[in-house]
Structure 1
Amino acid sequence: MRVRGWFLDTRPLRASRTFRDLWAGSAASQLGGQIATVAVLAHVWELTGSPVGTGAIGLATGVPMVLFGLLGGALADRADRRAVVRATTAGQLLVAAGLCAQALAGHQNVVLLLTLVATGTACGALGAPARRTLPVRLLPSDQVAAGLALSNLSFQTAMLAGPALAGLIIARWGLFAAYAAQAVAVAISMLAMIRLPTMKPVGPGAGGGGRRAERGGWQVVLRRPTLWGSMATDLSATLLAMPIALFPLVNEVRFGGDPQTLGLFLSAVAVGGVSAGLVSGAVTRRRRSGQVQLIAAATWGLALAGFGLAGQVWMALACLAVAGAADTVSVVTRSALIQLETPDAYRGRVSSVEHVIGVAGPEVGNFRGGLLASATSASFALVSGGLSAVLMIAAVAAVNPSLRAYRTPPATERPTLSRTADVAKAAG
């Protein structure tokens, strides 16, 4: 591979105007979402002055994210996915307008604020499975990973820049301006949805599969080794080695509790993710994506074990940057593999399974790490968690030769419409 091929693979932006519109709209929405997250956090703190109040934000977002994500998977396999994405984006736009209105009116009702947040999250979660299926329908199979890498890069960039931009907006112009910025971003995303082509599910099993439609996604995953292996690899990494909850304790015990250092921990992960995105061509052009995911997930575990042992700030930040880069590679390869290996008629439901694992795994992993650290130490929780993740990933690789040997189909192949009859029969 030439050195030029290592850099960001922009073929999807050149090959498909529709994907380009989708990517730009999604990037705007992601930035607006980060601004809104900080605005809501600041607003709830202003209204309550209580960590219980700010903790309630997690409840207002976590519950609808899981519940409506599962419903969204079945919906995406029954209806035109373009219509689903348009309708849920319109719902998010109405919620953004509601946040602007309550801020402008000076309402001091935290219940109203959290209700709006929960409603917006429900709309986003309902449309998330359908949205996940769009790139694989818009791009040739050999460009799907590159398209997902571009999407992940925009997300990582939003995570890096969004909170700082939100702080600047709130400090200068107040909460209304921050909510207005989010509303503008969602409106841009809505405009991008207008040009999408119709995307009804195709192939055997299209239409949702009857009363037990919600089970179809889990059945397809469990019957295809590449799918359950890829998801098990991700779950092993997040359940056993999620470090975010331990950042304050590590900072307090090892680095004096400086808030700036705590902020650098989070930034280092994002910097690693953005850096990996900028050279993602080295990954997206490789066809052995199952092998790449396994190596990247194991690197995540080793890097976090290193973070648990790091005695200097620079070393800790370097380990977190490596972990962030490995996470980006793992996410991109996993997402592409799942979309390419899933028959189109089941993509919505399988995407909802991926969504639930992606949401629940990190949260449970953070909880596990906090419990273990409280009983032992932060270093023990990080090192044992990271090494346990590596061992579990190695076990998945050992028992799943299909994942180890998986190759991304060349551009001439269309796996979305092949090998579906047997899967449709198995999923019932």
Structure 2
Amino acid sequence: MSLARTLIDVRPLRTSPVFRRLLIGRTVSVLGSFMTMVTVMYQVWDLTHSAVWSGAVGLAQALPMVGVGLFAGSWVDRGDRRRIFLVATVGQAVCVLLLAVQGFTGGVPVAGILALVAAGSCFGAVGGPAAGVFVPRLLPKEQVAAGLALNQVTGQAMMLLGPALGGLFLGWFGIGVCYLLDALSFGLAFYGAFGLPALPPEGEPARAGLHGVLDGLRFLAGNRVVRGALITDLAATVLSMPVSLFPLINAERFDDDPRTLGLFLSAVAVGGVTATALSGSVTRLGRPGLVMLCGAATWGAALALFGLTTSPWVGLGLLVVAGAADALSVVSRTTIVQTRTPDALLGRVTAAEQIVGQAGPHLGNLRGGLVAGWSSGATALVTGGLLCVLAVAYVGASTPQLRDGAATADEA
């Protein structure tokens, strides 16, 4: 196999100037969002010195995403996705701009900061499903997986770079400047989408209100391939999410060394970036279901082994493997959702995928913490990883269409 086919497939960058602009705008905006995430956490902690208030930042981000998501998906499937995305982008930019104003002026209570974070998350819950239709509408079907991999690798790279830059800029320029830079980054996201053609739903538009939401849920219940993809993601995140266990494992196994703890998350991200950068052969394979199942099972197995090891270097290596497997699984799952869902339903299904991606890790961290409280961090990791492998094996065994990739967008 040639090196060119192993490296990430960049054909979408060459063949679609519109996708290229979108990717640049999205990358800069994601960088700004991670800078804001660090800035909000720092400001809330600086004002309160309370772990409860710090934890409330995550809830302010996640709850609106879950509460607004499905209704937003129904709205997206009734209108011009381009216009909806532009409105949502402006809304997010205004929320961050208000954060910047309070960062320069001060005097806003913590509840007000969290309210602005929650408002921005509401706009994000609308913009995400709208953006979910861009790649399959702009690229030929054989390039959709490559386009999603490019989104993934740039997003993960910004996940590594954004918090580090946020910390540096906080020290150099202060809170207000960090928020302001994020607000400006939405300008590039807006520019990237502004040149798109109108993107109304292909087929019958969604019914209004709850009826449209129920139509989307009926599709998910009836389409075994898309349903299996989302269940696989839930199995990986709810059953074996390791982040909340890292401090305890570090204390139990690695003498509570803060340097080791910092490397745990970095190792997962490094694995993800590396695997996505070398995903060309995987995205060209045309078997996203099989890749997703293997990736999710490898994620669970690597984390179970991580729970057993006493060597920090072996542990970091296993986390790199877990991060790589998870990245390939995510790219494959998103490919399944966006190529197997009819366009008229894609906003609602993308919203459901977004909710799973938001809620799953939070529930997984809660599960891990509860099990560790009853037993130990190692037990929580090992049992969670094994349960993940068993759940993925069940999904694969009960959904042959997911394994062999034979299903089409209309198959149940």
TM over 0.5: yes
* Corresponding residue of 1:318: 317
* Corresponding residue of 2:271: 272
**Contact 2:156/2:269 (CA < 8 Å) preserved in 1?**
yes
Shift of 1:324: 0.6
Report 1:185-264 matches (<5 A): 185-203=185-203, 205-208=204-207, 211-264=210-263
Q: Tell me, in whole angstroms, the C-alpha distance in 2 between the residues paired with 1:174 and 1:71.
A: 37
**Contact 1:269/1:324 (CA < 8 Å) preserved in 2?**
yes
* Corresponding residue of 1:106: 106
- What is the Cα-based RMSD across aligned positions, in Å? 1.5
Aligned-partner residue type, residue 292 of structure 1: V
Q: Tell me, in whole angstroms, the C-alpha distance in 2 between the residues paired with 1:133 and 1:40.
A: 30
The one-character-per-residue Cα deviations of 1:167-217 (angstroms, maximum 9, x if unpaired) are 1000111111111111121121112121111100012x3243675101122
Q: Tell me, in whole angstroms, the C-alpha distance in 1 between the residues paired with 2:7 and 2:14.
A: 15
Aligned-partner residue type, residue 341 of structure 2: T
Unaligned runs of 5+ in 2: none
Asked if 1:378 is matched to 2:377, the reply is yes
Q: Tell me, in whole angstroms, the C-alpha distance in 2 between the residues paired with 1:108 and 1:346.
A: 41
Asked if 1:394 is matched to 2:384, the reply is no
**Contact 1:36/1:182 (CA < 8 Å) preserved in 2?**
yes
Q: Tell me, in whole angstroms, the C-alpha distance in 2 between the residues paired with 1:99 and 1:387.
A: 43
Aligned-partner residue type, residue 265 of structure 2: L
Q: Tell me, in whole angstroms, the C-alpha distance in 1 between the residues paired with 2:175 and 2:133.
A: 34
The one-character-per-residue Cα deviations of 1:390-414 (angstroms, maximum 9, x if unpaired) are 11111111111111111598xxxxx
**Contact 2:22/2:192 (CA < 8 Å) preserved in 1?**
yes
* Corresponding residue of 2:10: 10
Asked if 1:62 is matched to 2:58, the reply is no
* Corresponding residue of 2:92: 92
Asked if 1:135 is matched to 2:135, the reply is yes
**Contact 2:225/2:407 (CA < 8 Å) preserved in 1?**
no
* Secondary structure class of the residue paired with 2:285: coil
**Contact 2:75/2:206 (CA < 8 Å) preserved in 1?**
no
* Corresponding residue of 1:300: 299
Q: Tell me, in whole angstroms, the C-alpha distance in 2 between the residues paired with 1:219 and 1:46.
A: 46
**Contact 1:309/1:383 (CA < 8 Å) preserved in 2?**
yes
Asked if 1:172 is matched to 2:172, the reply is yes
**Contact 2:125/2:351 (CA < 8 Å) preserved in 1?**
no
* Corresponding residue of 2:47: 47
Aligned-partner residue type, residue 397 of structure 1: G
Q: Tell me, in whole angstroms, the C-alpha distance in 2 between the residues paired with 1:301 and 1:72.
A: 32
* Secondary structure class of the residue paired with 1:285: helix
Shift of 1:139: 0.5
Aligned-partner residue type, residue 66 of structure 2: V
* Corresponding residue of 2:282: 283
* Corresponding residue of 1:406: 405
**Contact 2:82/2:199 (CA < 8 Å) preserved in 1?**
yes
**Contact 2:71/2:210 (CA < 8 Å) preserved in 1?**
no
Aligned-partner residue type, residue 168 of structure 1: L
Q: Tell me, in whole angstroms, the C-alpha distance in 1 between the residues paired with 2:37 and 2:177.
A: 13
* Corresponding residue of 2:337: 338
Q: Tell me, in whole angstroms, the C-alpha distance in 1 between the residues paired with 2:172 and 2:41.
A: 17
Q: Tell me, in whole angstroms, the C-alpha distance in 1 between the residues paired with 2:45 and 2:209.
A: 45
* Corresponding residue of 1:151: 151
Residues 159 and 37 from structure 1, CA distance in 2 versus in 1: closer, same or farther, beyond 3 angstroms?
A: same
**Contact 2:8/2:280 (CA < 8 Å) preserved in 1?**
yes
Q: Tell me, in whole angstroms, the C-alpha distance in 1 between the residues paired with 2:139 and 2:407.
A: 13
Shift of 1:2: 2.6
Shift of 1:108: 4.2
The one-character-per-residue Cα deviations of 1:12-61 (angstroms, maximum 9, x if unpaired) are 11111111111111111110000000000011111111112211212211
Aligned-partner residue type, residue 343 of structure 1: P
Aligned-partner residue type, residue 48 of structure 1: T
- Runs of 4 or more off by more than 6 Å in structure 1? none
